[in-house]
Structure 1
Amino acid sequence: MPRLYGFDNQALTRVRAQERQVVREAVGRIRAGQSQAEVAAWMTAEGHRGTMGGEWTSMTLGRLLDNPAIAGLERIPDTGELCETGREALITPEEFRWLQERPGRRGSIRSVERREDDYQYLLSEGLTVCADCGQRMTGSRTGAGTPSYRCQSNFEGRGGCGKVRINASRLEDYVAEYVLGELSRPGAQAALESARKAMAAEAQQVVVRIAALEGKRTELAAPYAEGQLSRDSFVAADRHIGRDLKAERARLRYLEQGAEVPLGGIEDLARWWEHAPFASKRGLVLLLVEKIQVHPARARGVRAVDDRVTLIWRTALAA
């Protein structure tokens, strides 16, 4: 059986860095509006080949992008629900779900049934938290279909209060206004560069911790195979390591978004914001903002966000 493109082994525990970069760019192109056929043609033209040496087609690319393993996920057989494995990934779980929620993406091998347009949540993945209980807020649509950030009452076994929700576009506009205000300050460029270096340094530390955890997972196999470790002990230890790997990889994705953002002149960044790529805008926010706390609304139906949001700045410049 051929290996899955992007991975170095059948166990999916090691990735091929060059192939992972190809997959990331392919997903980026699809999210920018290119069809799978166009992206497959680009991959072939650049000299990239499948694991059996064949040229890429819309169908072979579609099969790869519909495999949850590329995002470190797997489906629970009984329910079909996606769960994280803690293994290495080529793209983020959010990117994979975006692809699956696009069955009508141009050139997809999946159904062409039309679904509601997805929404890119700029302030997700732990950046926005509930001020009441400290729970991370996740992107969620209201009953009317409006994108919002919500404190989930039960998120991955860690229950939040479930009482705080805020309109996504209003919160993002509010944060963007303050971020752009910070960019106009003297010394902003130096502060951003300092923050980026700090995030890049922490990312390297996380990479080391991930390698150590992967080593521990590999070391477990020998005593288990030799009968020195019971199956229950092996599964419990492997699950614990998997949880740690999941947290570290999520942290690494978070840090990489800030460390990799392109920095030009501050004036250029401020002018460019309105039409900037999503990933670059998100990275810029991460460089400036450590956390966004959202407080409950004063009363039901209140739409203002000014008195509901507390920004905790990352850089020494911001205040």
Structure 2
Amino acid sequence: MVILWVSLNRRFGAGQYDVSVPIVMNDFIKWLESDGNILFSNVDICLIDKSVGYGLFTKENVRLNEVLIKIPEKYIITADFVSNIKEYADILNRFVFDSSELLALFFAFERVYFDYFCKQLGSLNDGTAYFVQWTLEMPNGFKHFLNCRKELMNEKRNESDFWWKSYIGILPRNFSTPLFIYYLKENGNAKIKEIASQLPIETKEKLLGQLDELIIFEEKFLKLLLNSFEGDTFQIAKTLSQDSIVFWREVCCWAWHIVNTRSIFTENLSLHSVDKQKSCDKNQKICSKKKKQNR
């Protein structure tokens, strides 16, 4: 799977969309034009709405097969790319995630890392920097991740190496899907199944399949947080406070949505580092030969 920097909306003009540019988008555009060297003179980046996020909109009619934007391969986030980041390679030596799950894990951990363990800039562009205070207990699995990252930062890294930070900053934090609305609520799964029962068969099966995928990913995610290789994830209630459980489940659901709302397919990019593990995971469904590519 691959995450592209922006999603392309095939509409002409952006008159009905929000063309204002918040600070996070300013940072992203600056990166595109400088470090990223990604040029897109014939398109605008506009906010569609808060539950969808930003999209590319052409400024004028375009010809068939006309190139609107070019993205260097080194700036495409694939599961193979993630599996070669040392922090995640360490995780994959101990736990098994398929391609889409690994990408969701990446977005979950990177969001928390950037939100709580990196400097934040004030909204007035006055150079004021601050840290958001972490008030929850620290799960062993995430503590291990932070320690691994800290060691690597001390060796040869700095924050500028995390070129995906500005992209994560512009991602929507909420979604309007039944899964996002109901999954974390009491009896949420029953409500989702009730909604599914009222849908056409194909749509119903797709929604229930997505629910199963999210449940499987959450179970793996919580086991990683607890640093538990086996056993009942329901034991999490004995390890973490209710506030922590709610926080991490929300992050998990959000990250799953990021991957599954920004997916395209490709057969051209290899995911060998992750594919090697699939045969070890008895719970993993048979994957299509096509690899998901995210944008």
TM-score exceeds 0.5: no
Q: Highest Rg: 1 or 2? A: 1
Higher relative contact order (CA 8 A, sep 6+): 2
Under a length normalisation based on structure 1, what TM-score does the superposition of the two structures give?
A: 0.25
